[in-house]
Structure 1
Amino acid sequence: MRHYRKNWIICYDICDARRLRRVYRLCCDEAVTLQNSIFWAEFTNKELAAFIKAIEAEIDTSEDDVRQSQSFSCPW
């Protein structure tokens, strides 16, 4: 089975400045910044799962929100 890369939009709302910096660094390493807290990336499903798992390790799910949505076209 082939593992196709898909376009993803990742956005976040982080309450704590320290967690925000950590999540921002993770996103900058893997994705392209579109706006302050909005990123675009190409991931396979496996890569996306690993990326989200890394972010979830840094956030407090009761205060912070991270969302991802598949994009069907490149933003540029």
Structure 2
Amino acid sequence: MSDFVICYDISNPRRLGRLYRYLLKRAMPLQYSVFLFSGDDRQLECFMQDAIALIDEKQDDLRVYPLPGRGLKARIGRPALPEGIQWSGMPAEW
């Protein structure tokens, strides 16, 4: 299982809303327009095919960046989840 950062810039409010709702169901929001997706390459491929169907490829920008499997992963600032709630895809020290 790998982690991917997904970010977007959508020019149309309707498409923005559709993509945002789609991402909320399948990835964890980290910041405005930035999500964390955990899955294998096949899951990412299916995820991206569905996401691309929701945007206009000529006007919108949707990007995926793989995170290294090893290395430091840390968060600075407000937590993504309320205190006491842990998501199994994140280390407990986050």
Q: Which has the higher contact order (CA 8 A, sep 6+)?
A: 1
Match of 1:7? Answer: 3
Q: Taking structure 1 as the reference length, what is the TM-score of the superposition?
A: 0.88
How high is the sequence identity, in percent, across the aligned residues?
Answer: 35
Say which structure is richer in helix: 1
Q: Which residues in structure 2 correspond to 1:17-28 (within 5 Å)?
A: 17-28=13-24
- Aligned Cα root-mean-square deviation (Å): 1.2
Number of residue pairs the alignment of both structures matches: 72
Say which structure is richer in strand: 1
The runs of at least 4 aligned residues of structure 1 exceeding 3 Å deviation read 73-76
Q: In structure 1, what residue type is equivalent to 2:59?
A: E
Q: 1-side partners of 2:43 and 2:30: how far apart?
A: 20
Q: In structure 1, what residue type is equivalent to 2:28?
A: V
Structure 2 gap ranges (5+): 75-93
1:70 Cα offset (Å): 0.6
Of structures 1 and 2, the larger Rg is shown by: 2
Match of 2:81? Answer: none
Q: Taking structure 2 as the reference length, what is the TM-score of the superposition?
A: 0.72
Structure 1 gap ranges (5+): none
